[in-house]
Amino acid sequence: MKSKLFFILLILILLALVNIVSADLTCTITSSCSDTVLLYLENEIGGSTNAHAQLANYTPTYSNSVCCNTTGQSISSNCTDGTVFLRLSDITNAHVQDPNNGSLPTIYANEACINTQGISSCTIQSGSCSGTSECLASIASSEGNDYTNAHIGECGDYTLQVCCDTNSPPPVPVPDYPDNEDYMFINRTPFFNWTFAGDADGDPVTFHFELFSDSSLTVIESNQTALANLNYTHNSILDFQSYYWKVRAYDGQDYSAWSATQNFTIQEYVAISLLNADMQFSTFVQNQTDDTTDNTPTPFTIRSFSNTEIDIYNTSANESLWSTQTLNSQYWRIKGRTGSNSYNESGSITSWTNVLSGLPGLINRLNWTVDRDALIDIEVTVPFYESPGTKQASIIFDSEVAS
């Protein structure tokens, strides 16, 4: 008893698996079709074995039909864009032949078709339909060549079976990043990604990505097919404007629908950092001068994390370093270090200049891609009458988009 139950359970599991892999198309030969008739058939006694065929649009109809349905898809026998699964010698009371065998002496003129999304081909196979194929009927001939001038029957009647490969189109990918309508996007070589639920048939899936620079989706910036991963990085630099993108999946047979079109707007972004915030000079005596040109102490390093060229348009100190000297004196000077190619030296201050409460134009056009560090040298000279003690001051580097 237990072994019988186990066997039944196993059969049910196998049937469930078969249903999963054979996707949505289901066909039977029946005398009472409540779905879509693709072909009629009937023998002398009204049965469906060793029968003649009749096209689906012929009336009056035979009593039996190849009756099919698909879940979530329309299906018809319309041959426009449909797949031919048999050829008939006449529109009714007809023998049938393999539609794909071009070497037959006579090619029947009447086509029986299946028209639904996901049918890639229909073939005559010896033995059971395999894998994702669905059996519509079987055929056999008494004339020696079973592939033509044949009678038609149910799938289990004859060796040659009419098999149609079925495929479920992949589901629509779901865009994930950049966020839709992100109007403060700053990455000019964006990374795009999306999620994907997986192909129902288990087919390997690739993705088709499109990026446009106009909302009417006519000016294409990037058209990437056969992307294997759930992301794409656009390596050429985008402008400061709005962009639109969408993606669809392809399982080797069918495309999914396009995802909803996403948009984002790239804005100019200014961001700077002081890499070395410590600057400590050593012990001094009056009139002694020291500077950072020998890297002791280390000069200020301003690194741009911007997405465009920037200027350090204003450098300001809140007060003088020295109690005996005001700002704008030779006792505290500043300059941009030359030779790094990270900024436009001719438009910058590269010779010693007195620190002010507002010094314009210290660094002009600091790069944002490579070589994006500007080294700022400081020189200090102790005034002769300066009193001893620790000296402090603050200095501020203000940045903006390069003029």
Binding site for another protein (CB under 8 A): 184, 186, 267-286, 288-291, 293-294, 296, 300, 302-303, 305-306, 308, 313-314, 321, 335, 338, 345-346, 350-352, 378, 380, 382, 386, 388-401
The minimum distance between CB 25 and another protein, in angstroms, equals 52
Furthest C-alpha separation in the chain: 127
Q: Which of 62, 110, 117 is nearest to 89 (CA)?
A: 110
> Least CB distance from residue 212 to another protein, whole Å?
21
Shortest spacing between CB 241 and another protein, in angstroms: 12
Rounded to 10 degrees, what is the CA torsion of 379, 382, 387, 389?
40
Instruction: Give 47 or 297: the residue with its C-beta nearer to another protein.
Output: 297
Q: Kindly state the smallest distance separating residue 222's Cβ from another protein, in Å.
A: 23
Q: Tell me the C-alpha distance between 380 and 368, whole Å.
A: 30
Omega into 60 within 30° of 0, i.e. cis? yes
| 106 vs 286, beta carbon nearer another protein | 286
Structure-token pair, residue 141: 């001939």
- Report residue 200 as tokens: 């129902």
Shortest Cβ distance from residue 234 to another protein (Å)?
Answer: 19
- What tokens does 309 get? 């060229």
Residue closer to another protein by CB (options 158, 332) is 332
Instruction: Report d(CA 18, CA 20) in Å as an integer.
Output: 5
Nearest approach in angstroms of CB 294 to another protein is 6
Pairing of strands 52-55, 36-42: antiparallel
Query: Least CB distance from residue 221 to another protein, whole Å?
Result: 21
Q: Are strands 160-166 and 231-233 parallel, antiparallel or unpaired?
A: unpaired
With beta carbons less than 8 A apart as the criterion, state whether 73 and 119 touch: no
Helix (H) or strand (E) holding 12: helix 2-21
Residue 19 or 286: the one with the smaller Cβ distance to another protein is 286
Query: Closer to another protein at the Cβ: 46 or 179?
Result: 179
Closest CA to 63 of 79, 85, 75, 45: 45
Give the single-character DSSP code of 157.
T
| Shortest distance in whole angstroms from residue 257 CB to another protein | 34
317 close to 394: Cβ distance less than 8 angstroms: yes
The amino acid at residue 197 is: A
Q: Which residue's CB is nearer to another protein, number 64 or number 353?
A: 353
Nearest by Cα to 322 from 270, 261, 391: 391
| Cβ neighbours, 10 Å, residue 326 | 13
Residue 25's nearest CA partner among 67, 82, 83 is 67
Q: Which is nearer to another protein, 34 or 392 (CB)?
A: 392
Using the minimum distance from each CB to another protein, give the nearer residue, 144 or 389.
389
The least distance separating another protein from the CB of residue 327, rounded to whole angstroms, comes to 14
- CB-nearer residue toward another protein: 106 or 338: 338
